[in-house]
């Protein structure tokens, strides 16, 4: 749809039969859960596109906090998950289209377990949870979009006006296990070290026995 849109647009699915998560994994969507994609024609350089996952994470944190009330203990898990009371309640997936370094469309996909948690995956780092199951709050996908869309717009305005630094600071203020020992698994290695933040490119900063390392992409385990 991106080529035919005149500007940014949210596209929501009330049912998904072929959904996917990171690295092509299956994404299960029980009835009543939230699945939407924000489609944009980006103006930022291609190298900055991945930073929109942090903008989306902050917007999700705000929206889930508003929907779940005081019983919702939320944390952001680098790079693209939201935890609720210690379980995974939401995920983010960015995809782009274009040629070479020129990005013509950016799709920011977001899935939230509003009504029910899908079955856990055997190799998942966190068991899935749902907003209703953890807080007792029932929110429809349409109601949640009315919380998420303005929250995203507010953080995006700040990102465009002030750059990544305030987004990074806000993310780290909400980050799970900052300053603690974590495990980061890449496609070729497993690194154990202290989670010391994220750098200007969004990479994980890990202090290991062999020194400080920047990890651009990995699966994180606590």
- As a whole number of angstroms, the longest Cα–Cα distance in the chain is 51
Arithmetic mean of pLDDT, 37-57? 88
Could you state, in order of their start, the residue ranges of all structural domains in the chain?
A: 2-173, 181-221
Q: 120-179 pLDDT, tens per residue?
A: 877 777 899 999 999 999 999 999 999 999 999 999 999 999 999 999 999 999 999 999
Q: What's the confidence (pLDDT) of residue 56?
A: 98
Q: 57-80 pLDDT, tens per residue?
A: 999 999 999 999 988 999 999 988
Q: Answer yes or no: is pLDDT of 13 > 80.
A: yes
Q: What's the confidence (pLDDT) of residue 131?
A: 98
Q: What's the confidence (pLDDT) of residue 65?
A: 97
Q: Which of 95-109, 149-163, 178-192 has the lowest mean pLDDT?
A: 95-109
Q: The domain 181-221: what is its CATH number?
A: 2.30.30.100
Q: Answer yes or no: is pLDDT of 94 > 80.
A: yes
Residue with the larger pLDDT of the pair 3 and 162: 162
> What's the angle, vertex CA 8, arms to CA 4 and CA 13, rounded to 5?
80
Residue with the larger pLDDT of the pair 6 and 59: 59
Q: 188-218 pLDDT, tens per residue?
A: 899 999 999 999 999 999 999 999 999 999 9
Look up the CATH superfamily of 2-173: Bira Bifunctional Protein; Domain 2 (3.30.930.10)
Q: What's the confidence (pLDDT) of residue 77?
A: 96
Q: What's the confidence (pLDDT) of residue 153?
A: 97
Q: What's the confidence (pLDDT) of residue 99?
A: 76
Q: Answer yes or no: is pLDDT of 86 > 90.
A: yes
Q: Answer yes or no: is pLDDT of 20 > 80.
A: no
Q: What's the confidence (pLDDT) of residue 58?
A: 98
Q: Write 148-154 long-range contacts (CB < 8 A, 24+).
A: 148/36, 148/59, 148/60, 148/63, 148/110, 149/10, 149/38, 151/58, 151/59, 151/60, 151/62, 151/63, 151/66, 152/38, 152/55, 152/56, 152/59, 154/59
Name the CA dihedral angle for 209, 207, 77, 133, rounded to a multiple of 10 degrees.
40
Residue 55 phi/psi, 5-degree rounding, is -60, -45
Q: What's the confidence (pLDDT) of residue 74?
A: 98
């Amino acid at each position: 749809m991106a080529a035919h849109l005149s500007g940014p647009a949210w596209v929501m699915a009330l049912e998904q039969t072929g959904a996917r998560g990171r690295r092509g994994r299956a994404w299960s969507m029980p009835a009543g859960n939230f699945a939407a994609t924000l489609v944009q024609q980006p103006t930022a350089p291609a190298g900055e596109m991945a930073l929109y996952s942090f903008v989306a994470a902050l917007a999700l944190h705000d929206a889930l906090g508003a929907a779940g009330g005081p019983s919702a203990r939320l944390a952001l898990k680098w790079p693209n998950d939201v935890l609720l009371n210690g379980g995974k309640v939401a995920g983010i997936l960015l995809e782009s289209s274009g040629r070479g370094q020129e990005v013509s469309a950016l799709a920011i996909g977001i899935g939230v377990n509003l009504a029910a948690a899908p079955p856990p995956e055997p190799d998942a780092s966190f068991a899935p949870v749902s907003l209703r199951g953890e807080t007792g709050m029932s929110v429809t996908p349409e109601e949640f979009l009315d919380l998420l869309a303005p929250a995203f717009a507010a953080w995006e305005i700040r990102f465009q006006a002030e750059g990544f630094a305030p987004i990074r600071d806000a993310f780290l203020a909400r980050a799970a296990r900052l300053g603690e020992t974590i495990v980061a698994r890449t496609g070729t290695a497993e690194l154990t070290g202290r989670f010391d933040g994220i750098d200007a490119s969004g990479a994980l900063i890990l202090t290991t026995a062999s020194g400080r390392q920047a990890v651009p992409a990995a699966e994180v385990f606590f």
